[in-house]
């Protein structure tokens, strides 16, 4: 029922923004261990993982909104499964930020609200467009995570382990959306999405 899905969506939003999240899968980094990172390395790793955490806040909002507006049950289930896996990413990045003595973004409520609105719009345009939005989003996130693998301190094995599994999951989500019949988005839309992502990542790096 729609009412039940709305209640679940609101609950998810509150837990995501409040940081009351728990991963269903084990952390790829394994048990916490002492790491010898220089102060500037910790600051860089913290900033990058904060950006990744914001990306997962947005992913929760996008998938929840797209699940709400999906016109087929198969697509709704696909979005819900992806959202659960993105929830693992959310929990892992939040845990890593705590280990680095860093914080999540102060703008998380704004990030969630904006992404939810975009997800609703994508869903209202139809299932194939919604799937196309997933493909483009996940491909961009995959590239973004690959760049973080290059920028993370060489000695930060824990962050690297988390980012590598996240990157694999994002690629699979994009492949699944393609297989489900995604429609390719127009080039101007893809450019606009990249510009919006750039604003988000630049801001979240600091705030």
> Is residue 48 in a domain?
yes
Handedness of CA 59, 60, 65, 69 (dihedral sign): positive
**55 domain residue, yes or no:** yes
- Look at the chain and report how many structural domains it folds into: 1
**What residue numbers bound the domain in which 83 lies?**
2-15+37-204
Mean pLDDT by groups of 10 residues along the chain of 207 residues: 66 72 88 79 94 92 87 86 90 94 92 89 88 90 92 92 94 91 87 85 85
Residue 74: predicted pLDDT = 87
Task: Tell me if 9 sits within 8 A of 68, measured CB to CB.
Answer: yes
What was the pLDDT predicted at 206? Answer: 84
Count of C-beta atoms within a 10 Å radius of residue 3 = 7
Residue 28 lies in a domain: no
Q: Is residue 68 part of a domain?
A: yes
22 part of a folded domain = no
CATH number of the domain bearing residue 188: 1.20.1260.10
pLDDT on residue 170: 92
Backbone angles phi, psi at 81, to 5 degrees: -65, -45
**Helical axes 73-99 vs 157-179, angle rounded to 10°:** 170
Q: Would residue 26 count as lying in a domain?
A: no
Distance CA 15, CA 22 (A): 10
The confidence score (pLDDT) of residue 167 equals 94
pTM: 0.90
């Amino acid at each position: 029922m729609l009412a039940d899905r709305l209640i679940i969506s609101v609950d998810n939003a509150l837990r995501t923004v409040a940081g009351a999240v728990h991963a269903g899968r084990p952390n790829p980094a394994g048990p916490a261990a002492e790491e010898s990172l220089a102060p500037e390395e910790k600051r860089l790793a913290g900033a990058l993982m904060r950006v990744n955490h914001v990306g997962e806040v947005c992913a929760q909002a996008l998938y929840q909104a797209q699940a709400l507006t999906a016109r087929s049950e198969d697509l709704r289930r696909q979005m819900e499964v992806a959202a659960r896996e993105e929830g693992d990413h959310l929990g892992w990045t939040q845990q890593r930020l705590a280990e680095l003595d860093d914080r999540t973004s102060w703008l998380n409520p704004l990030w969630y609200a904006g992404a939810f609105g975009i997800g609703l719009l994508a869903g209202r345009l139809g299932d194939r467009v919604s799937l196309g939005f997933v493909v483009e989003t996940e491909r961009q996130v995959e590239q973004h995570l690959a760049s973080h693998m290059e920028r993370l301190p060489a000695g930060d094995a824990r962050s690297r382990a988390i980012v590598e599994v996240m990157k694999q999951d994002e690629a699979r989500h994009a492949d699944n959306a393609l297989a489900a019949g995604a429609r390719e988005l127009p080039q101007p839309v893809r450019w606009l999405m990249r510009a919006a992502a750039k604003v988000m990542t630049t801001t979240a790096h600091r705030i």
